[in-house]
Chains A and B, each alone.
Chain A
Amino acid sequence: MTAAPTLPLPDSVDAVIALLATQSYVCDRRLATALYLSLKLQRPLFLEGEPGVGKTELGKVLAQALDTLLLRVQCYEGLDVAQTAYEWNVARQMMEIRLAEAVHDTDRERLVHTLYSHEMLIERPLLAALTQTQSPVLLIDELDRADEPFDAFLLEVLAEHQITVPELGTIRASAPPITIITSNRTREIHDALKRRCLYHWVDFPSLERELEIVRLKAPGAADRLYLQVVEFVQRMRTLDLFKAPGVAETIDWTNALVALNAMRLDPTTVHDTLGVLLKYQDDIVKLQSGDTAKLLDELRARALLD
């Protein structure tokens, strides 16, 4: 094992929940257990789930709660080593050659040595994650958007906490990073990579938990409105929608309703603000052509709406 990180890490599942609560991140016990294990066993945590359930947020919040550096890799197709790990500072290398020429330095061995030294590397997030004195949080966001060669490249970093630069050798982590990988599952990530991680599927939260989250993240609404909003969204998720709204959408919607000074849900307000919740035209049409009224009726039947 490499040198233990100097970070004060939580020592139980409850401590993890408490730690995240300090940054107003509400998480269920299963996610907390997975995160606790990931910290304890120094394994990357692989989070999969629908968009807008707080996967990326967890990485950000964790870095804040532990008061450490957050290094983020936003994935996209064609991502390569030069953009994520390191790049040779070619301009500096050329300058070095010119300088050597100017002073008629003909010691080629030494020149090559200077050209390919650690100082000539430009650090990108993955390499930077290995060279910190204190364990940083490394957030690899939306890995499913990168192409497969990138998965393969990550294996070494994730499993061994090291990067091999062909010209220079292997760079090992001084303080192993806390790695969080998120994916929206637009493609299956290779088993070899998943095998090196702890896996957790982030589900939509339960009614109580979502209420708690919305109250924390969208303050200022009437108590009754929170309940109506969350009940409405939870029911909406059971409909046959192309893309069910995530927690992020619930928060946005509550904020929107507050901004419109809505005190309670009514058909016109819902109709006008559906675009905040649903991002597919088909879904919006489906809701507008009857389902909204049905959901509001259900709320009324449960005496949540007058």
Chain B
Amino acid sequence: MNCARGRFSIDFMISENIVHFARVLRGAGLTVGPDRVLQAMAAVEAVGLDRRDDVHAALSAVMIDRHEQQPLFDAAFATFWRDPKLLEQLMLLLLPKISGRGEKVQPPRSNRLQEALSPPRLPASAKDERAAKDELQFDAEFTFSERERLQHADFETMTTAEFEQAKKLAEQIPLPIAPVRRRRHEAASRGRLDLRATMLRMARSPQTLTPAFTRARSELPTIVVLLDISGSMDRYSRVFLHYVHGLTRRHPHVHTLTFGTRLTNITRCLKDRDPDVALKRADEQVEDWKGGTRIASCLAQFNQLWARRLLAGNAAVLLLTDGLDRDERGHLAEAAAHLRRMAHQIVWLNPLLRFDGFEPRAAGVRALLPNVDRFLPVHNLASLADLGRALRAPASNNKYSATK
């Protein structure tokens, strides 16, 4: 490429400013690597410095890569290219993290971190061993005291042993979502004849003819989790959040949105490996914890803003809510029906309702039920273990509407 290590005729000041500008953008959360800085210099050189809007367009074409970043970029550009010092001072005030990139932002103050920092204690390791034993036989039995602790432990402040146990649990909990068949093929022992591979085999050993086959790959679809975090779900949303964090770590395509009175996308927060940090970041981003529920408006908003972006390619929706809607304005049935048309499958995990003899009395539940493919009541859920047990249980007649 002509730009990668070229001689730049634009003067030194401009290049230095671009470097600073890139640092500012980086501080604001844009992924502007050194490659883009070089690109930006080449771009500015190409369009020239005659017109401010050209420079703006050039830098924006190089430095952003999604539409949401545009307003941020525009604001930064407007301020920076008037007075670089001013913006940096502003950013220093607003975002202390850009001054020193070496230090880690917001150290997680969790039990685990403290444990890791303090010298190892014997009892702790003994406890670990016991925990490990428990894990092995978790399915069969889960000693009463351990379970009790997990139930009451705030997930945010678990000790290492408890955390390990919870993690194991989150990994063991099966997914209530079935894989879908893709159109992409993979090598298989039987199926469609793969001429190219067959020919290669023949070329390697001409005396034989061993045909090679491919078959359609089946894999887990994209999973979109819609998590209710309103007051009525208070006891469960944290357990679910841990479960979803486990899912996000295990599967490449999990998107998570929380809703109470508003819809928040927390996918990026949950990408952090450390559940404490991930949940903390999610906590900070979500503003409507334990508030009211406006399922209808939130679903409608999801349909409008996110559905087309997230539900392509046979995506599955995992709906985690009690279905108690306090939305007077919205039309829940309509929004749910719309969602049904866009998603390949909708699985509803409801922690409040039991399946046997369950009568949908709440209007919200009645509106949602006909529009889900699978209805799983995870009754009396207090821990991840319960969630695992509920999901592992044979999916009794899945479709509620079918049993009516």
Contacts and interface: CB of A to CB of B under 8 A. Distances in A.
Interface of A: 1, 13, 29-30, 33-34, 36-38, 40-43, 46, 48, 76-78, 80, 82, 87-88, 90, 93-94, 97, 108, 112, 115-116, 144-145, 147, 149, 167, 184-188, 191, 194-195, 197-201, 240, 242, 282
Given A82-B196, A112-B203, A195-B33, 14 more contacts: A33-B47, A42-B1, A77-B184, A77-B313, A87-B196, A90-B198, A115-B203, A116-B203, A147-B182, A167-B200, A185-B309, A186-B308, A187-B309, A191-B31
A37, A43, A48: which has the most chain B beta carbons within 10 Å? A37
A101 to B, nearest CB: 10
B57 A29 contact: yes
Contacts of B202: 97
Interface stretch (B58-66, B130-138, B161-169, B278-286): B58-66
Contact of B312 (A88, A97, A108, A145): A145
Contact of A147 (B1, B3, B184, B203): B184
Nearest to B62: A198
A16 B312 CA distance: 35
Nearest to A186: B312
B303 interface: yes
Interface string B171-194: 000000000001111000000000
B215 interface: no
A186 B66 CA distance: 13
B interface SS class: helix
B67 A33 contact: no
B35 interface: yes
Contacts of A282: 338
Interface band, chain B: 35 or more
Given A30-B57, A187-B309, A41 B70 contact: no
A191 B65 contact: yes
B159 interface: no
A34 B338 contact: no
Contact of B53 (A29, A37, A240): A29
Contacts, number: 116
Given A33-B57, A80-B184, A187 B47 contact: no
B61 to A, nearest CB: 4
Contacts of A197: 65
Nearest to B206: A108
B56 to A, nearest CB: 8
Interface stretch (B38-46, B115-123, B235-243): B38-46
B2 A42 contact: yes
B59 to A, nearest CB: 10
Given A29-B53, A42-B1, A116-B203, A147 B338 contact: no
Nearest to B196: A88
Contacts of B31: 191, 195
A240 B70 CA distance: 22
Given A41-B3, A116-B203, A242 B182 contact: no
Given A37-B43, A78-B182, A90-B195, A187 B64 contact: no
A93 B202 CA distance: 11
Contacts of B56: 30
Nearest to B312: A186
Given A33-B54, A198-B61, A41 B67 contact: no
Contact of B184 (A43, A78, A116, A191): A78
Given A41-B2, A41-B43, A88-B196, A33 B61 contact: yes
Contact of B66 (A41, A188, A242): A188
A188 B61 contact: no
Nearest to B67: A201
B310 interface: yes
Contacts of A34: 57-58, 61
21 contacts: A1-B1, A1-B2, A29-B53, A33-B47, A37-B46, A37-B58, A40-B46, A48-B67, A77-B183, A80-B184, A88-B196, A97-B202, A144-B312, A145-B312, A149-B184, A187-B309, A191-B31, A195-B65, A199-B61, A199-B62, A282-B338
B309 A88 contact: no
Contacts of A185: 67, 308-309
Contact of A36 (B47, B222, B303): B47
B304 interface: yes
